[in-house]
Structure formats: structure tokens, C-alpha cells
Structure 1
Amino acid sequence: MDVVGLGWAGTRTDRATELARFYQDVLGLHCVHTEPDFWVFELPDGRHVEVFGTNYPGKSHFDSGPVIGFAVVDLAQAVQQLRDAGVELLGEPGPTWQHFRGPDGNVYEVVSA
């Protein structure tokens, strides 16, 4: 697997509104998308940091803390290497990502660079 950097981060929290305000007002991140219980902030390099409220659908597996995404050169190859290593994959691959559970029990992802 060819990891080339961090590619994404997301947090599911019951204090999503407060975290989104912190990202915007304290860290100075630019909000590029919002919908109920969901915010997307863009970093200067174009990567994203996302905040999910507990009522946002489809992210219930984000249950152990912030999720980081490792940017990889070849997503399909990275997913296959995770499978071959016996890593627990969470859901089906998205168009540019695949979530998995690390040996520490936390959720991570590989994301296209």
C-alpha cells in the first residue's frame, strides 16, 4: 500500500454544532457545505474535515472518536491489501474511500490521493 499523506478527517459527536463553530470561529476553517447535523470544512490544501452530529444518517460506525483517512495512490489495491490482511472493512467502498476498523478498535479509512 502506498500511503502518501493524510487525506481526510471526520468526527461524529453529540456536540457537533459546538465543534463546527470551533472549527470555523477558532481554527478559522472555511465551511464549504452544510446540511442538518453535517458540516464540511476545507483546509488550504483542498482536503476536508467533516463534522457529523449523532442524528446524521449512515455514520453510526464512527463510534470511537475522530476518523482519519490515509491518502493512498491506488484505492482498489489498498482495499485488497486490507482484505488480504484480514482487516474488518466497514460497509462497501465509496467512490473514493473505504472505512475499516484498526487493531485498536478505532475506525479509519483509506482515501484516494
Structure 2
Amino acid sequence: MRRMNITGLGWSGSRTSAAPELAHFYANVLGLPLAHHEADFWVFTLPDGRNVEVFGEGYAGKQHMVTGPVVGFAVEDLPSAAEELRAAGVELLGEPGPTWQHFRGPDGNVYELVAD
């Protein structure tokens, strides 16, 4: 059986009722540069170029993120890795994005694969 090649953590996102406070913390305490902002959505860039995102409760499209922060595992071949999850009986959440696929882990939490 082929095994996906995880190359590292590729993304992190938090959907929270305290989104402005968390965004302020990322910017002003952790010192992460703000790469993008719109209503209820902030994107910060890590030194390696990967992103950390903050979603307010009103941001559309992230309603499945209710278990806490979501981490994305970077993989070399996203379509193959998602198919491996499917073949293993893992619940894939929603349609895949151009560079990601969310899934539910055996602990009930939401995770994602992200193209490296």
C-alpha cells in the first residue's frame, strides 16, 4: 500500500468568536506579519512562507471548523493523499479546494491536507 508523504505542517486555521482578539495576538504579541484582511478573516504569514488564518464566526465557508484550531498536513501529492484517506474510510469534508482537503480524524476533530 502506498503511503502519502507528509512534508510538515502546511497551514493552521482557527474559527473563533474572539477572532479580532486572536488576530491582535498573532500580530502584536507573536509578531506575525498580516498578509491579508477582510471582514471576519485574517491571514498571517510564518517565516517559512506558510499561513496561519483566523476566521470569525460570521465568515462563510468555515462552519465545519468547530473543534478548535485546524492544522493542515503538507503533502507532496494532494489528490493521491486524499484518495488514500478515502480508501482508508476517512470522512472527507466538503469539496476539495485547489490546494486543500479537509477531513475528520478518528478523534472527531477537523484536519486538512494541504499541497506542499
- Provide the TM-score with structure 2 as the length reference: 0.97
The one-letter code sitting in structure 1 at the alignment partner of 2:30 is L
1:81 alignment counterpart? 84
Q: Partner of 1:111: helix, strand, or coil? A: strand
Structure 2 Cα separation of the partners of residues 79 and 50 of structure 1:
22
Q: Partner of 2:15: helix, strand, or coil? A: strand
- CA RMSD of the aligned region, Å? 0.3
The one-letter code sitting in structure 2 at the alignment partner of 1:67 is V
Query: Within the alignment, does 1:43 sit opposite 2:57 as a pair?
Result: no
Gaps of 5+ in 2: none
Q: CA deviation at 1:112?
A: 0.4
Structure 1 Cα separation of the partners of residues 46 and 67 of structure 2:
24
Q: Deviations over 1:87-106 (max 9, x none)?
A: 00000110000000000010
The one-letter code sitting in structure 2 at the alignment partner of 1:21 is H
Q: What percentage of aligned pairs have identical amino acids?
A: 68
- Provide the TM-score with structure 1 as the length reference: 0.99
Q: Deviations over 1:64-107 (max 9, x none)?
A: 00000000000010000000001000001100000000000100
- Equivalenced residue count is 113
Query: Within the alignment, does 1:10 sit opposite 2:21 as a pair?
Result: no
1:105 alignment counterpart? 108
2:97 alignment counterpart? 94
